[in-house]
Structure 1
Amino acid sequence: MKVRVLGCSGGIGGRDQRTTALLVDDDVLIDAGTGVGDLEFDELLRIDHVFVTHAHLDHIAMIPLLVDTVGEARSMPIVVHGSPETLRILRSHIFNWLIWPDFSSIPDRGNPFLRFQEMHIGESANIGGGRRMTALPALHTVPAVAYQVSCDTGSLVFSGDTTYSEPLIAAINDIPDLRYLLVETAFPDALHDLAIASRHLCPSLLALFLDRIKVSPEVWITHLKPSRAQITVDEIGNYRGRFQPKALYNGLEFII
C-alpha cells in the first residue's frame, strides 16, 4: 500500500503550498484540500473514497469540484466517509443547493454521483485489497477524527487537525505495527495561546504529545502555517525525545 502526500500545508501561496490531502494507492483520499487539484482527470476518475477528518475548508475544498468533474463519467458514486457531525456540516453548508448542488441526489437519489457514509470512533472501513481505514479520536474546534490506514504489513496514522489529546495518544499506543505517524503542528511556540485557542499543536505541545507515545513510528509533521513554517520546524528540531520529527512535503510517498 502506498500513501502519497498531495498537500500538507496549513495555507496556500506558492507552488509548494497545497492544503491537506493524502492519496492512498490511486483510489482513496484522506481529506481533499487544494492538493487534489494537481491530479490529472484520469487520476481523479479513479478516486472511489474520500475519508474526511473534519469539515474545515482547507480539508474539504476540492470535494465539490472533484464530484462535479468526474461524477458523470463514473458508474458508481464517490463515497465520502466522516463522522456524523462532519457529514451533517457538509450536507447543510456545502451540498445544499446554495453553495453547491446536492450531488447525493444528482442525477437522482437512486443513482447519485456522491454518497455519504458515517464513521464512528473506533469503526473500520474495508476499502479492498486487505486495506482498512479506522477512525481515531482527535480534538479540534469542530468534531474531528484521525485515521489509521492499515494493511497486513503495517499501519500509518494521520492526525488531521488536533491539539494534545489523551484519547488519540491511547489509540496510537494500541497500534503495535505503526510505521508512520503524520501529526500536525500549526504554530510556533510564540503563538502557543493561539494554538490552544484554535486547538492545534505547537512544538512544546508536540513534545508533550510525542513523549507519551510508546510505539516506534517515524514521525512526520504536517499543517505548518506558511508564514511561520521555518521557525516552527526549527523549534521542533530542538526536541530531545526519542523521535526525530521531519516536515512533510508534497510528493513524499510512504510504502506500508
Structure 2
Amino acid sequence: MRLKVLGCSGGIGGPEARTTAFLADDDMLIDCGTGVGDLALEELAAIDHIFVTHSHMDHIAAIPLIVDAVGEMRGAPITVYAIPEVLRILRAHVFNWLIWPDFTAIPDRRRPFLRMQPIKVGEEIRLGDRSITPLPALHSVPAVAYCLDGGTGQLVYSGDTTYSPELVTAINACRDLRHLIIESAFPDEQHGLALASRHLSPTMVAAFLDEIAGNPQVHISHIKPGQGERVMAQIAAAGARLHASALRQGQVIEF
C-alpha cells in the first residue's frame, strides 16, 4: 500500500500547513482535512472510500467539497466509513441542508452521490487485497485509530487521541507493523491543555512509545503550526526507545 501525506498539520497558515488527510493508493482517503484541496479534479473523482477517525473540522473539512465537486462525474457514490457516532454527527451537523446539502439524497436516495457506512472497532474492512481495521482511540469526541494492511506490512494511524491503554494493546497486536503515525498536538508547556482536550504532548508520546512492543518507524503528526521544532526536540529529549521523526506534507510511505 502507498500512503501519501496530503496534510498533517494541527492547523492552517501557509502552503506547508494543511490539515490531516492521507491518500492511500489512488482511491482511498484516511481523514479528509484541507490537504485534500491540493488534488486535481481527476484525482478527486478517483476517490471511492473515505475513512474518518472523528468529526472535528480539521479532519472532515473537505468531505462536503469533494462530493459537490465530483458527484456528477462518478458512476457510483463515494463511501464514508466511520463509527456510528461520527456518522450521526455528520448527518446532523454537516449534511443537513443548512450547512451543506444532504448528498445521501442527491440526485435521489436510490442513486446518491454519497453513502455512509457504519463500522465497528476491531472489525476488518476488506477492499480487494487491502484491509482497514478501526482501533480504539480516546479523544474529546468519539474517535478511532486505523490499522492499514497492504498485504506486505501494516501502518497504524492514531488519529487524534490521548494516552489509551486499549490503543497500545491494539497496536501491539498488529502482527507486521512497519509504521506508526501518532499525534503530538501541543508542546510540554501546554501539557494541561493536551490533557483537557485529549491530545498528546511530547512527554506523553514518549511514554506511549515505550509501551510499543515492536520496532515500527514512528512519524509525528498534528503538530500546531510554528511548534514543530520545539515539539520534536522535546520528544527527542524525553528519550523514548523508538526514534520519532516529524511527518511531512508530501511524504510518501510504502508498506
Same fold (TM over 0.5): yes
Q: Paired residue for 1:240?
A: 239
2: CA distance between counterparts of 1:37 and 1:88?
Answer: 25
Q: Paired residue for 2:195?
A: 196
Query: Match for 1:43: what amino acid?
Result: E
Q: Which runs of 4+ in 1 moved over 4 A?
A: none
Matched, 1:161 2:129: no
Q: Paired residue for 1:70?
A: 70
2: CA distance between counterparts of 1:195 and 1:237?
Answer: 18
* Contact 1:176–1:215 (Cα < 8 Å) also in 2: no
Q: Paired residue for 1:88?
A: 88
SS state of the match for residue 149, structure 1?
strand
Query: Match for 1:115: what amino acid?
Result: R
Q: Paired residue for 1:106?
A: 106
Q: Paired residue for 1:220?
A: 219
Q: Paired residue for 1:137?
A: 136
2: CA distance between counterparts of 1:154 and 1:176?
Answer: 9
* Contact 2:207–2:240 (Cα < 8 Å) also in 1: no
Cα deviation digits, residues 14-67 of structure 1 (max 9, x gap) = 110000000000000000000000000010010000000000000000000000
In the TM superposition, what is the alpha-carbon distance from 1:233 to its structure 2 partner?
Answer: 1.4
Cα deviation digits, residues 72-129 of structure 1 (max 9, x gap) = 110000000000000000000000000000000000000000000001100111122x
What TM-score does the superposition give when structure 2 sets the normalisation length?
0.99
Q: Paired residue for 2:181?
A: 182
Q: Paired residue for 2:6?
A: 6
Gaps in structure 2 of 5+ consecutive residues: none
Q: Paired residue for 1:116?
A: 116
In the TM superposition, what is the alpha-carbon distance from 1:215 to its structure 2 partner?
Answer: 1.4
Q: Paired residue for 2:29?
A: 29
SS state of the match for residue 251, structure 1?
coil
2: CA distance between counterparts of 1:148 and 1:225?
Answer: 24
1: CA distance between counterparts of 2:91 and 2:3?
Answer: 28
Q: Paired residue for 2:53?
A: 53
In the TM superposition, what is the alpha-carbon distance from 1:231 to its structure 2 partner?
Answer: 1.0
Query: Match for 1:107: what amino acid?
Result: P
Cα deviation digits, residues 209-250 of structure 1 (max 9, x gap) = 011110110000000001322211111121323211000011
Q: Paired residue for 2:250?
A: 251
1: CA distance between counterparts of 2:241 and 2:94?
Answer: 43
* Contact 1:145–1:159 (Cα < 8 Å) also in 2: yes
Query: Match for 1:133: what amino acid?
Result: I
SS state of the match for residue 19, structure 2?
coil
In the TM superposition, what is the alpha-carbon distance from 1:171 to its structure 2 partner?
Answer: 0.1
What TM-score does the superposition give when structure 1 sets the normalisation length?
0.98
Cα deviation digits, residues 2-24 of structure 1 (max 9, x gap) = 00000000000011000000000
Query: Match for 2:97: what amino acid?
Result: W
SS state of the match for residue 226, structure 1?
coil
2: CA distance between counterparts of 1:127 and 1:23?
Answer: 15
Gaps in structure 1 of 5+ consecutive residues: none
Q: Paired residue for 2:44?
A: 44
SS state of the match for residue 126, structure 1?
strand
Q: Please, what is the CA RMSD of the aligned residues?
A: 0.7
Query: Match for 2:80: what amino acid?
Result: V
